[in-house]
A and B are shown apart, each in its own frame.
Chain A
Amino acid sequence: NAGVTQTPKFRILKIGQSMTLQCTQDMNHNYMYWYRQDPGMGLKLIYYSVGAGITDKGEVPNGYNVSRSTTEDFPLRLELAAPSQTSVYFCASSYSDSNYGYTFGSGTRLTVV
């Protein structure tokens, strides 16, 4: 009964480094999402996917890339990390559209120094 699993839980990056945040779900959900949460702010949508092979930009996609080669996995790639990308990142999934509520992972806390 894993739900949505995110790795790593914590990471410190130096400016200019790159990394991939992993997200996998075992509920056979078609829809998957990446959000970031900055202090005192709501969650902001970075990218989303409505199925394998299909991805689209959200509200704040700059500096990130995603891929969706399988239903289960939706990794988020950071290229050339910047201090502005210091945030908590949440991956989520849902069966269809958002009306049923999302299942979130426990988050990845990323610090760029």
Chain B
Amino acid sequence: DQQVKQNSPSLSVQEGRISILNCDYTNSMFDYFLWYKKYPAEGPTFLISISSIKDKNEDGRFTVFLNKSAKHLSLHIVPSQPGDSAVYFCAASYNDMRFGAGTRLTVKP
């Protein structure tokens, strides 16, 4: 069963605009949510996280929003840059960490 879902396999945005990546989860026991970024031929790298007791966490151009009632989180990247082009994985943890299938973001110059 897929407890963490990223329903958009890909997203394309123009440089300078906002990128919004979405993630849904089903297990209400998850208490921490994370976003990872992955470039080709590399392992995922940790980007930003949020505790279930918060609804927003910001780090520079990256902001993660959590809506617990909707079991939904999103990652906002503002402004988007060509170097942000990568696959973004949403993850949620309780006893272990579960990952979504990823969204490939392409930022066009």
B2–A90 contact, CB under 8 A? no
Known: A99-B49, A107-B43. A48 touches B96 (CB 8 A): yes
Total contacts A to B, CB within 8 angstroms?
Answer: 59
Q: Which residues of B contact A98 (CB under 8 A)?
A: 32, 34, 93, 96-97
Interface residues of A in 48-106 (CB under 8 A from B): 48, 58-59, 90, 92, 97-106
Known: A41-B101, A42-B2. A104 touches B96 (CB 8 A): no
Known: A98-B32, A102-B46. A42 touches B97 (CB 8 A): no
Nearest CB in chain A: distance from B77 CB, A:
18
A106–B96 contact, CB under 8 A? no
A103–B97 contact, CB under 8 A? no
How many chain A residues sit at the interface, stated as a range, is 20 to 34
Q: Which residues of A contact B100 (CB under 8 A)?
A: 42
Q: Which residues of A contact B64 (CB under 8 A)?
A: none
CB pairs A–B below 8 angstroms (30 shown): A4-B43, A40-B101, A42-B2, A42-B4, A42-B89, A42-B98, A42-B102, A43-B44, A43-B99, A45-B96, A45-B98, A58-B96, A59-B96, A59-B98, A90-B43, A90-B44, A92-B43, A98-B32, A98-B93, A99-B32, A99-B49, A99-B51, A101-B36, A101-B46, A101-B49, A102-B44, A102-B97, A104-B43, A107-B41, A107-B43
Q: Which residues of B contact A (CB under 8 A)?
A: 2, 4, 6, 9, 32, 34, 36, 41-46, 49, 51, 89, 93, 96-102
